[in-house]
Amino acid sequence: MEQQVTLIRQRLQEAQDRQKKYADQHRTDRSFEVGTKVFLRVRPHKSPIRYGKGSKLAPRFVGPFEILERLGPLAYRLALPPSLSRVHDVFHVSVLRRYVSDPSHVLDWTALQVQDQGQVMVEPVRILDRRTLGLRGREIDQ
């Protein structure tokens, strides 16, 4: 009887080790330094009240926010703006993503033309592609 129990425990341990090996292939160790900027994933909270828009076109990440403090191996305190005052400022490492600075992401706001009624005149920077569609026997360029 004891041999069967030992055999069962051994096979159970082998199965657990095998599953752990498969699970660890998808995991990465994330750690951030204090002062770096990170994005915050919105999806786990799923609350349109907290982050503004509540549609399927809403961004997956908000930010970037600066890390103020590392509270443990998996928890970080972020510097959130006053608009997110209802959100707690401590987050798990799994909802953070490193911010990589890219100058092409920054838009030149000085070139915006504001009309008298506060409307902004926006013109495309460049046309990336064109296509021609057929609609009711006519060709329409897009």
Compute the average pLDDT of residues 111-129.
71
The rounded percent of the chain whose pLDDT value lies above 90 is 20
Residues 50 and 68 in one domain: yes
Domain of 43? 37-104
- Quick one: pLDDT at residue 9? 96
Residues 69 and 88 in one domain: yes
Please tell me the total count of domains within the chain.
2
Amino acid at residue number 32: F
Residue 23 belongs to a domain: no
Residues 114 and 78 in one domain: no
Residue 8 belongs to a domain: no
Residues 55 and 97 in one domain: yes
Residues 72 and 94 in one domain: yes
Residues 125 and 68 in one domain: no
Cα–Cα distance for residue pair 77/43, rounded to 1 Å: 19
Compute the average pLDDT of residues 117-128.
74
- Strands (DSSP E) contained in 35-111 are 37-41, 61-70, 75-79, 90-92, 96-98
Higher per-residue pLDDT: 102 or 92: 92
Residue 31 belongs to a domain: no
Residues 93 and 123 in one domain: no
pLDDT tens per residue across span 58-87: 677 787 889 999 998 889 999 988 877 788
Assess whether pLDDT exceeds 90 at residue 45. Answer: no
Assess whether pLDDT exceeds 80 at residue 43. Answer: no
